Structure 1
Amino acid sequence: MSLSIKTPLLESLPLGHLNGTRVWMKMEATQPSGSFKIRGIGFACQQHFEKGARRFISSSGGNAGLAVAYAGRQLGVPVIVVVPETTSERARHLLQLEGAEIIIHGKMWSEANALALSLLTDQDAFLHPFDDPLLWQGHASMIDEVVAEGIRPDAVILSVGGGGLLAGVDEGLRRHGLDHVPIYAAETQGMSSYHAALKAGKPVEVTALTGVATSLGARQVCQRAFDIAQTRSVVPVIVTDREAVNACLTFLEDHRVLVEPACGAALAPLYGKKLNLENEKNVLVIVCGGSTATVDSLNSFNG
């Protein structure tokens, strides 16, 4: 039994008309934990459970932590999520709803992560938010579903934080002989650690992360995300916070689905007609989701 669901693949007429092509949306926002993260994390949790893990530990107050909490509840396994003090009340509430034990520690994720790692015993499994081959294997299933519906994309647009989604989509494309398909990797200006890695020629730690797209807030992308750009065309795209938020609000009007600014980063290049896609017959955008977004929070960003 998979802990993730098969999500809808929908054509976006508004985005297609804007960009002179057909735009297909993989609606990962409809996953039970609210984002694509449950694909990889659910798969990893099942693997760990089958090997004897009897507690899951995470250090994410966002989508990854929620996916771990959901997986634990489904498998009957207790979950501890260590979050920094900056974690929103909404995120804490959603974790509590899933039955996770929450420990608040430190001002930054790195401090929360250090405590989470210190709690590990032989019977525990630690779930990294993005840097784990098991996650990439699970995330790849979204491309399996797209191809099974008869769509072989000519380009893929997605958001990049730590690089787990990018690694999973690349793995899924390669499974189906789509090694040549370019991936447009979108970030906001204040969260552009992938762009920094490509510029430096290796993953590097960015000194400061700023802005509204907090789910993209990895100081350094995983090595695998960087390596992919050496073997296929990966085009970095940077948008402003306002563009990401406006994309979320327009997407809500167009498709009646609320997503967070990290997801808006992937939608913004389409709404802003920033990419030359007219020669691509089928463009796939990963609507990655985000449980903690609210209409009020989006409007307050634009206030």
Structure 2
Amino acid sequence: MGLHIVTPLLASTAFPARPGARVWLKMEALQPSGSFKLRGIGHACEVHAARGARRIVASSGGNAGLAAAYAGRRLGLPTLVVVPETTSARARSLLAREGAEVRVHGLSFQEANAHAHGVLGAQDAFVHPFDDPLLWEGHAGMIDEVAQAGVRPDAVVLAVGGGGLLSGVVAGLRRQGWNAVPVFAVETVGADSYAQSLAAGERIELPAIASIATSLGARKVSEHAFGLARTHPVTPFVVGDGEAVAACLRFMDDHRVVVEPACGAALALAYRQDGPLAAFSNVLVIVCGGATATVAQLQAWDAQLR
């Protein structure tokens, strides 16, 4: 039994679809840590604990850090989460609430990450936010659950940051023999390192993240995620911050669940009347979640971006 829960798979009528078509929502926002990250990070932490790790170290002020903190608490292991100075007070509070030691270092994730590596001891396990096969193996379980529910999607929609969710979902699709099922990988303008990399034919590093969807804020996607587009039908898609936030608010009204703009990016594509999903009959949307957004913040962003 893993640290994550089996999340609901909902058939939603809130999204535009042609007659006879269905949109399915894999509700990863309902994981105990607030996002899908708990699947992979929980799995990695369990593996490290079984190998004798005595402390978990992570470098994320967002959902990866929260998943590591939750997993550490459940496993009875102390957890250190190193965050940059830009990490919100809410995120720091949520990390502390899970019992993690929160250390603030540097102006960017890169500096916080370097510090986390610098303090690793012999019995510490470092948990990467997205670039680790253990994470992909854990994330793949959500597709197993979709198959167990008797649903076979003909398209999958998900958000891309560093590529951990994409890597896990493709691994899950392959495990089910669904190698031809296309994946729509959605980012926001200003955090679109994946789309830019595929267009350039090489991994592009963004000079900075210029999007409010900070959970998509990997300036460079993992090599594994980049390579997947050569072996699996992956289509990148980019939406604006305003459309992502509007999708969050609409989803909150439709399904009474609050998600971050990073998740809103995927929802935005699903809400489009005339988008590329209109051709499919069984669309699976990964509602990846996000624990740091509040209703007030979403409403403020919406007013600002209109």
TM-score for both structures, normalised by structure 2: 0.97
Partners in 1 of 2:292 and 2:18 — Cα distance?
29
1:212 Cα deviation from its structure 2 partner: 1.0
Question: Alignment identity in percent?
Answer: 61
Aligned counterparts of 2:10 and 2:92: Cα–Cα separation in 1: 31
May I ask how many residue pairs the two structures share in their alignment? Answer: 303
Matched residue type, 1:233: P
Contact 1:18–1:270 (8 Å) recurs in 2: no
Q: Partners in 1 of 2:65 and 2:134 — Cα distance?
A: 16
3-state SS of 1:138 partner = helix
| Contact 1:179 1:232 survives alignment (8 Å) | yes
Given that 1:18 and 1:271 are in contact with CA atoms closer than 8 Å, whether structure 2 keeps it comes out as no
The answer to whether the aligner puts 1:90 opposite 2:95 as a matched pair is no
**Structure 1's 218 and 291: CA in aligned 2 closer, same or farther, altered over 3 A?**
same
Instruction: Report deviation, 1:20.
Output: 7.1
Contact residue 16 and residue 22 of structure 1 kept, 8 A: no
Q: CA deviation at 1:103?
A: 0.5
What is the rounded CA distance, in whole Å, between the counterparts of 1:73 and 1:101 in structure 2?
Answer: 11
2:233 aligned with 1:233, yes or no? Answer: yes
> Secondary structure, in 3 states, of the residue corresponding to 2:29?
helix
Alignment gaps of 5+ in structure 2:
none
User: How far off its partner does 1:281 sit?
Assistant: 1.7
SS of match in other structure, 2:278: coil
- Residue of structure 2 in register with 1:59 after alignment: 59
Task: Name the aligned partner's letter for residue 71 of structure 1.
Answer: A
Structure 1 ranges of 4+ moved more than 2 A: 16-21, 272-279
Q: Which runs of 5+ in 1 are unaligned?
A: none
Q: Distance in 1 between matches of 2:207 and 2:239?
A: 19
- Quick one: distance in 1 between partners of 2:87 and 2:277? 38
Give the equivalent residue in structure 2 for 1:212.
Answer: 212
Distance 1:61 1:18, change over 3 A: farther
Q: Kindly provide the CA deviation profile for residues 219-238 of structure 1, in whole angstroms up to 9, marking residues without a partner as x.
A: 10001111110011111110
Shift of 1:273: 2.7
- Partner amino acid, structure 2, of 1:302: D
Structure 2 match to 1:28: 28
> Corresponding residue for 1:115?
115
- 1:53-82, Cα deviation, whole Å (9 max, x unpaired): 000000100000000000000000000000
Matched residue of 1:284: which SS?
strand
Determine the structure 2 residue equivalent to 1:43: 43
Matches within 5 A, 1:1-303: 1-17=1-17, 21-303=21-303
Structure 2: which amino acid aligns with 1:203? R
**Structure 1 residues 159-168 or 279-288, which shifts more?**
279-288
